[in-house]
Amino acid sequence: MTTRRALTLTSLKGEDNLEIRHVPIPDVGDNDVLINVKFCGLNFAECSLRQGLYSPIPPLPTVPGYECSGVIGQIGSQVTDLKVGDRVVGLKNFGAWSDVVVLPSSDCNVIPDNMSLEDAAAIPVNYLTSYLMLFDQAALKPGDKVFVHMAAGGVGTAVGQLCLTVPDVTVIGTASKAKHKHCLANGIHHPIDYKSLDFVEETRKLFPKGVDIMLDPVGGPTSKKSHTLLRSLGKHIHYGGSSYISGANKTWTSMFSIMWNFFNSGSYSGFGLMERSVLVGGLHVGKMMQDPEYHPVTRRAMTNLLNMYKEEKIKPHIDSVWHFEQIKEAMGRIYSGQNVGKVILNASVMSDKGTQATKK
C-alpha cells in the first residue's frame, strides 16, 4: 500500500469542503512510527477550522485532526520503546484524519489493556485540555468551586471526572435540561439549564462569593458574565469560542454574529484584575502541540491520564461514531449542540449498509 485514505479540507467555504482523498503515505523516519488508524477524534477546533475561524490555518488542501488511535504497523530504526502490534494513541498537529498516520514515537503512547481504541481516540484533546487547565494552570486544590460551560460536552465531561479525583471539589456547569442526568453521573454536582435560567444568579444562590475556577469555551457576552463569578484569587481560563460558530456555513448573518460577539466579549485591564485579585488565562492545546518544547508537558499529562483510566478514575463518554464518509453529519451533531460527550470518526471504509452512526 503506497497511498492512504485521508479526510481532506479543500477550502474554507460551503458544506462540501471536506472530501476523502488518496494521498501518499509519508516516509517513516528513524524516530517515527506508522500507525494503522482505527479511530480519530472530532473536536470543535476542526469544526472551526472548516470555516476558517481557527488559528493557525495551515495551507490548503490539508488533513485536519489532532488525535487518533490504532495499531503500530512499522517503527523507525531508532525506536526502542514501541513495537509493531502495539495498540497506541497518537497526537498530531493536523493530519490525524487518515487511515495511516506517521508521527514521532515521542507523540505516541501505548494504551492500557482495559482501554478500547474508541476510548483512546477520545482522550487526548478533551482530557489534555481539562488536565492542563485544572492542574497546571488553575492549581486545583481540595475544596475548590469549579464552573465549566458546556458541561455535557467532551471537555465538560472530562472536567467533571478529573475534579472527582480531588477531595471536596464542587463543580457547577451549564447544560440543557435533557443532559443533566449525564452531567450528574460525571462529576457535575450542580447542572444549570442555561436555556431557562441565568447561570450567574443560580451560581450565586449556591456560592454567594463566587467560584475559584471558571473554565470558559464560549466567549462573547457570556464571558463577561462568567468573569463576574470569580471570587478573590479566582482564575478565569478561556479555551474556545463556541459563540462564534452557528452552523456549517458562513453567512452574512453569522459573520455579523461573530463580530458582535467578539466586540462584546469584554476586556481586562491590569488594574481591574489587581483590584479584584483574580487571574485570566487561556489554553490552546493545538498550538502547544506545534512547539516541540511543550511535548514533554503533553506527554507527562497523557501518561498520567492513561494511568487514571487504567485505575478506572476516568472514562470518556462516546456520543457517537461516524465514518469519514459521514463527516458532514458528524460535524452537524456538534454544530447543533446535540452531542453528549465525544464524537469520534471511524477510519475504516464504510460498507453499503453503514449509513447510520453508531450511537453510544
In a shared domain, residues 182 and 277? yes
In a shared domain, residues 259 and 129? yes
In a shared domain, residues 278 and 157? yes
Gap between the Cα atoms of 96 and 83, Å rounded:
20
Taking residues 42-58, what's their average pLDDT? 84
**Domain contains 300:** no
Answer with the residue of higher pLDDT: 247 or 321. Answer: 321
In a shared domain, residues 148 and 183? yes
Gap between the Cα atoms of 319 and 339, Å rounded:
6
The confidence score (pLDDT) of residue 306 equals: 98
**Domain contains 41:** yes
Gap between the Cα atoms of 251 and 239, Å rounded:
25
* Backbone conformation region of residue 247, classed left if phi is above 0, alpha if psi is from -120 to 50, else beta: left
The confidence score (pLDDT) of residue 220 equals: 85
In a shared domain, residues 232 and 354? no
**Domain contains 39:** yes
In a shared domain, residues 161 and 261? yes
Give tens-digit pLDDT for 12-41: 887 889 999 999 999 999 999 999 999 999
Range of the domain at 197: 125-283
Task: Quickly tell me which residue has 464571558 as its cell.
Answer: 223
Give tens-digit pLDDT for 248-259: 555 544 444 555
DSSP strand pairing (170-174 vs 145-148) = parallel
The confidence score (pLDDT) of residue 242 equals: 67
Report the percent of the chain where pLDDT is more than 90.
76
**Domain contains 302:** no
Give tens-digit pLDDT for 267-317: 788 888 999 999 999 999 988 888 888 889 999 999 999 999 999 999 999
Give tens-digit pLDDT for 142-198: 999 999 999 999 999 999 999 999 999 999 999 999 999 999 999 999 999 999 999
Neighbours of 265 (CB within 10 A): 20
Give me the number of domains the chain comprises: 2
In a shared domain, residues 52 and 196? no
| Secondary structure (3-state) at 198 | coil
Query: Which pLDDT band holds residue 246 (cuts at 50, 70, 90)?
Result: low
Answer whether 154's CB lies under 8 Å from 179's CB. no
| Secondary structure (3-state) at 107 | helix
| Secondary structure (3-state) at 307 | helix
Cα 173 vs. chain centroid, distance in angstroms? 17
Q: Return the CATH number at 87.
A: 3.90.180.10
Q: Which of 283, 300, 321 is the last residue of a domain?
A: 283
Q: Which of 283, 298, 322 is the last residue of a domain?
A: 283
Tell me the residue type at 58. Answer: P
Cα 197 vs. chain centroid, distance in angstroms? 26
β strands within the chain, DSSP E: 3-9, 18-24, 32-42, 67-75, 87-91, 100-104, 108-110, 145-148, 170-174, 190-192, 211-216, 230-238, 279-282, 318-323, 342-346, 358-359
In a shared domain, residues 47 and 162? no
In a shared domain, residues 58 and 88? yes
Dihedral over Cα of 253, 255, 259, 261: its sign: positive
